[in-house]
Amino acid sequence: MLLTASPAAQVLGGEPLVTTDLLVIGAGPYGLSVAAHAIERGIDTVVVGHPMGFWRDCMPEGMFLRSGPDWHLDASGTHTLRAYLAEHAIRPDDVDPIPVGLFIDYAEWFRAAKGIDVQSAAVTALGKVGGRFEAVLDGGERIVARAAVAAPGVRYFTSVPGWAVAVPSPQSSHTCDLVCFDRLSGARVLIVGGRQSAYEWAALLAEHGARRIDIVHRHEVPRFERVSWAFVDEYTDATLRLRGWWRRLPASQQAAIERRFWEAGRLTLEYWLAPRLRRGPITPWPGTEVVHAAAPAADGTILVTLSTGDRLGVDYVVFATGYRADLSRVPYLSGVLDGINLADGLPMLGEGFCTSLDKLYVTGFPAARAFGPFLGFAAGAPVAATLIVDDLLAR
């Protein structure tokens, strides 16, 4: 058990040095969930990151969650989202769909209730020397820990098509970098991608006065229907009940579950988007892709050629093209990457989320291949926290 070390501070080389049992890097849903459960189990824990940073900085005002009040962060099942709503006299039916700001408020309430003191900083480097991990922060401070959990946010993993290099950054962005829409009032905007973020950003752009919005994607226009995510519960329950449940499934069953997530999350978009889209100057281009984009002309117009032969003159391009996990894109892991067994950039994890580098754990989106697609959603946070802390205490 990792209960022998205690917090200590001293000066080493002119910089403060803190020692702890567990270092959690990242203060999003997965990092906060692990930290809360570790603290409750008596493990001395230090958390470094910007609390709910991706949610605060990369999700626009006016965005809604696709999940309901059942998804939460607490592995002990006490400080749930439903508990937060009850304490604040908020009826679940009055926040359907759930505004992203409400979930951020819940996460802050959860952090305070669990006594998680987040050191608001960034880890610039992580190494392992003499059996312990040493992290260097952007302010020069160092933290030494017997174990470490990396919970990198998805912002590291943005994916864009190859032709994106033709469009300069002042006139293009990934959806996670476009959270202020007022500056595009009166603009002609091309959105590349056709899933939830593409159509939700289209609605937000229209509501902020964009002159014309074209949505280009290779598939048909998705359905807009109410979807229940309750089916995820059986997979999270199975993961807790049977260690290694996902990896023991036959490939055909894994494929069927992945297909179920695909149908709920990709082939179907939220019903509350449909009326908002009808009110805007929005044109979908299903079954289409961009084959060429010219550099901006003197007047700033970007000429885009579609696979249909049509050409569009636009002022701005939004890439709603999702994310692709690859640990090599997480800068602070570069010093330990050689010790982590990877497959296609993803960590090969044990049944407790531990990498091949002893006592280094990876959770969240990069763990989805090893544990199932629900790790790409907040619903997986309490499950991951439970398995990681159990594994940590067993070593």
Q: What is the pLDDT of residue 17?
A: 85
Q: Is 353 left (phi over 0), alpha (psi -120 to 50) or beta?
A: left
Residue 251 belongs to a domain: no
Q: What is the pLDDT of residue 16?
A: 60
If you ran DSSP here, which 8-state letter would residue 354 be given?
B
Same domain, 311 and 210: yes
- Report residue 57 CA to chain centroid gap: 12
- Mean pLDDT in the chain? 94
Number of domains in the chain: 2
**Tokens 């997480």 -> residue:** 330
Q: Which two tokens stand for residue 378?
A: 């907040």
Same domain, 203 and 144: no
Among the three residues 319, 339, 363, which one is the final residue of a domain in this structure?
319
Same domain, 74 and 204: no
Domain that holds residue 132: 8-157+323-394
Residue 234 belongs to a domain: no
Residue 376 belongs to a domain: yes
- Report residue 124 CA to chain centroid gap: 20
Residue 136 belongs to a domain: yes
pTM summary value: 0.94
Same domain, 92 and 21: yes
CA-nearest of 262, 275, 270, 261 to 196 is 270
Residues of the chain above pLDDT 70, percent: 96
**Tokens 């497959």 -> residue:** 343
Same domain, 22 and 71: yes
Residue 238 belongs to a domain: no
Reported residue count of the chain is: 395
Which of the residues in the chain have pLDDT under 70? 1-16
Q: Which residues lie below 8 Å from residue 48, measured CB to CB, with a gap of 6+?
A: 23, 24, 25, 26, 27, 118, 119, 121, 122, 123, 135, 137, 143
Same domain, 145 and 36: yes
Same domain, 178 and 314: yes
Residue 387 belongs to a domain: yes
Residue 362 belongs to a domain: yes
What Å distances lie between residue 125 and 130, 187, 269, 324, 351, CA to CA?
Answer: 16, 41, 39, 22, 26
Sign of the alpha-carbon dihedral angle for 189, 190, 193, 194 = positive
Residue 2 belongs to a domain: no
Backbone angles phi, psi at 341, to 5 degrees: -75, 125
If you ran DSSP here, which 8-state letter would residue 99 be given?
B
Same domain, 121 and 63: yes
Q: Which two tokens stand for residue 201?
A: 């950003």
CATH of the domain at 124: 3.50.50.60
- Report residue 177 CA to chain centroid gap: 13
**Tokens 């048909």 -> residue:** 220
Among the three residues 279, 296, 319, which one is the final residue of a domain in this structure?
319
Q: What is the pLDDT of residue 158?
A: 97
C-alpha radius of gyration, the chain, whole number: 22
